[in-house]
Structure 1
């Protein structure tokens, strides 16, 4: 699967101490606020009319656009928050271009419909046999209902049965045997596109009481276990008798004659909260508390305007930074106060500081594990502590990644740090940097790491100490909206073998991308670089070619929109500190304005790795990447460039020799001599055959990246490939007979 994570489903089931504040806001535009709560046939929601607002003002219904995309939707959002946070979208797949020329109305047949500028129906409640006039009402629960006008308690349709990516208190999540209930949560496509994404959660359609987490609607990657009467078997922490009696939430599972569903509520009521599945398959539980959105003041002069909340018996967060000079608790505290970005410290003979998020912070005491842990001091604004010593509970965001097999609790302190707000703001899942801040973090672009077809790359350091690689794009042609849309899509891509995009900068003609930093640089330096670089073992090389294949498979087939890389070569394969390969520069061909819907007449890749179709001017598909991958695979096997010019002017073209030897079943002389025969012969033969299949002239003869992954894993047999026609012609030419003989004799 493309992602790893946790078996948990309901993060709210964690200790009551983990109270959540802050809702991830969509950066959207609201037309107006404050209006009646009812939609009637003679009073549509259109043009300049204000949104509908529920009776007590909790929720609003109207047109909104997530981001500056130009796409408008009918949605429901929290009406009393300072930020627009959407909880439901009607026309997820069918946005309209303008609210002024569109409308939400009651049609003549009694259905609620959205009409576009031409009067066409783009969304409908799609009910049949409605026998009387209807109205639509937005309720204070966040539920939009369509009911009989004469009796609004007689509900015909409700948004709670079509819940999108958000599950609100009181909503049913389950399986309607006859009718009713939301059947699944489905993520958005991107942070600014509500269209159905890749991740969903459903109740077992075969009739059991367990929930499944699904990828691409077909592949199950996690289960909650069956309901035991108090909790789901895979989540005993739901049971209040298991150490969480003070949970803010109540859960229940109903298995009735007509429907089966899970439902949750909030103790005491009046709390703004929701469950939401984000675009990366993570289920977040979030609450809003106005009292806790308080900025830290900092303490560069040693003042005590911020204070610390003490947590004991905890598993300390990951990514601590040790401060050797701080030899006492007081000095450690001062070191944290002296940094605007420090969020917590711990002193137990040595000083550890944490910056920004607190990852893997676990409350061992509330979890009733019997394990005693350390203590941590978490930084809050002084006003967070009441004068009567009745300390407020710590406000933390709990995020549970819901894919994979290991439990990862990402506890992030929601703190409005002034300095970070000055540096960047969040745009979807990415950080949008200002150009002058990128200049600062790269020391005015003084440390150049390298360059390529799309621009130069520089080393940078974020304020909290994270190294990054900053790419300055050159020759950029896209408009601002297109740039942000493409970058937003790239920011949602998560795979262990794909480089992660962390942020971007877009100021007039200045376009920059900020990536995670790879300490072992690029693959070419180990294959063709100086003798100072260590020799990559065969096992490392094989894991690299397999990892790259998995990354390309994800780009070609697992992303919602197919991404063709167009420039696969060793220079674009980066290596982590443990030599995990990560494909770089994916998506940049499209980002830079290259249109793959038409035949391309301009070569975009690198000579030596180009498929014949680039030269022929025919349409480019994913098989062009397969060809480049095959050429790169030869270089990884041999440890040398495919094409080397000899002193006598002749050209040494390694794929020709390799293809001929593979067909003859002779692999001697193909593997890098520096490996000193320390190789796996079966893997060598498999890799050589795969490489030859990849460089076939006919793209139909080339395997897909999915097949290549299976072949390299040994799951499918790889037949002996034919010598590509272009290589055979090269070998058959009279002028190349002597050249070919030399290759065979070496």
Structure 2
């Protein structure tokens, strides 16, 4: 029966190739389509858009709104997207009606439009692959070891790849973009992300996410700002496994029918859908429910699912715009204008600053806007409850803060909520019936040079500031001399030290250590600003280092410079305080990217491979190119930082361990992180090969997209290195590769070679592991991976030893806390 169905599908597809007006919903692999104006099933619409249909599932009635897959472009038709769209079609007239322009409900390549003569291929090995006209890979489904027999577009708009048994291998419904059609589900944590605008289909700032309790609309900033919420209730508890299904005009969650409620009134209860309906998160933040009129062929908005005022959307009038009576106005201060309309012809674009903001605190000025409301009041508990003046000061000291909204309690400026904004979206002017009207906005603006020092008032102010600076300078000089007197003996012996900071300077630079970037066994890291430059300040927990040792090690580390090591800019050794000042890395640590957390887009293989090379080169420099060998002892994704171009740099190497070149081994108490510790830590006699082992664990995590020790997994899947050992012995290593890695088939050979390199680094016997210089050569393809590897990465012998939990704190530790179960 299966073979007969396949034969029919193949037969019908052969007709679709040769008959000009014959449409089919199915294609059999291998097949390829070239995006060309000569394609037989092309339709141009009155709005300037064009569709080139590859697959079409005509409405069961023989005419009406139908789902199709193919190439789509909007006016002016300069570039194309491979999309699923709804068109008004008929088999009776063998054509397409121009009832309404195509409605796109899914797109494969939103971030990379293609040109004429691009190619879409369907193969049994890779599924669908999309290449631009220059041959570059744009998008692929990649199906692993599965074999694809064909593809079809269902009558409900699902694009499905199937195997010889007609089982689904891949389907578009599992990868939603900005829309849901009837019957499609949205799993907990999944997002719908709107396009930027009608002429820019890259992912915009607005997204919708399903969490326990309902649907939440956010505008993406740092941190994201909540603007809309739809609570979903039932008689069943809802947890993280929540699943929503948009079906027959209603929403189902965990197999229970849900309606939206507000003030005990049912707001949304859609009628049974006899025609095509769908919901879409549009670029303006509205979540709209659309439906087709079967007679006119028009697609109409049935309702807006977010029941909030138009002025309450974050992008209603762009950045800094104030929505007043349905019109956009720019913020105006008593001392003049600081903003202008971004485009007088397009008020929805908002306002732009006349003078760009900088991080120079001395040139900042507050522009006060009273009686305005702001949409981001979703969680009061997440924001500081402080007085108004402290709210403004905290923003002034933070370079990334652009404005604050202060919400009063009972009209009291000494008691309220402080909402700092790293990106300012639209405000709403005072409305008597609007919530949160008892608030004010303080927008940070830049004072232009022409406004400084022009009058006696400004002159006296400037003089007062000079006096204040002088007093502060005297105080700092006195404190500096005290510190210099304390440290004179060894400072004179250590020329070339990095910048020395007082504890008070770093406390102010970090706003009293309020913005924590991360925390580990050695200390916590805080974001700060110094001389208009963002910095990362690490406050060490341990004070066991004597001041001489601390300063000597700071001098050593401060004198080394490498592109793949985070730069040490300064330090503080003030009484019992030990702090290190590093350059700031805007993309944070690697762990935030390789575990696909926070809804981030998975890194592609070229970026992952470049990160592995960068880390290897940084470690090679520490081990082999410094005057004293530096062993890191805590290599893990949290200590690998990424800059704006995703170049990787090793961090937290400052106070690891300095080893003389003539020493082959060193005895030290255990330090590091469970899951990344080499087995020789059980003897306390270690070499730089402990870093090689940890590096091997990091490689495996990058390749597999998960942590080595993951206690959220079942017991048999908890330890990744154990699974690696099993898969290596059964020759099933490819099964471990991260499923979010979309371009595996292109780089399969390189990926598997890196996997073998990781296993070389994970050898139980440290003498069999490669040096980091050899690792670099393998990655540069100047050497081959060792072939006679021991695949017993874990030991079955339980052991105990005296080690440390945090650095150098004695505790009894099982062998399982090293790289994992043994």
Higher gyration radius (CA): 2
State TM-score, norm by structure 2. 0.36
